[in-house]
Amino acid sequence: GAVVSQHPSRVICKSGTSVKIECRSLDFQATTMFWYRQFPKQSLMLMATSNEGSKATYEQGVEKDKFLINHASLTLSTLTVTSAHPEDSSFYICSARGSLAQNQETQYFGPGTRLLVL
């Protein structure tokens, strides 16, 4: 149980275009979903927290107009990188936490999306 998927697994786009990444909890309802970014040889940095039906809460230094997060249902959250630039190239990982039945403190992570902006 507690499986989280992401799509796509990798994407290459041109500078100035937008890219959407999907995160789904496959076998549980996600009370909260989190989006992280990981640069090579570095640890995970939290970008934002989203609850179903609410606006996302962004961490300090993360541009909310550039990284649009939508959490439309208890099993789906999307991250859209708008007007992507080469410096946005990174590994984007989502996580989800469920209700008490799924050990509500624990975040289960997706496999990640590798974004390369040319």
Task: From 11-19, 41-49, 61-69, 75-83, give the range in contact with another protein by CB under 8 A.
Answer: 41-49
Comparing CB distances to another protein, the nearer of 42 and 83 is 42
For 44-78, b/e burial (b = at least 16 CB within 10 A) is eeebbbbebeeebebeeebeeeebbbebeebbbbb
Comparing CB distances to another protein, the nearer of 81 and 96 is 96
Comparing CB distances to another protein, the nearer of 15 and 54 is 54
Tokens linked to 46: 């939290």
User: Residue 27: phi, psi to the nearest 5?
Assistant: -130, 15
Binding-site ranges for another protein (CB under 8 A): 2, 4, 6, 32, 34, 42-46, 49, 91, 93, 95, 97, 103-112, 114
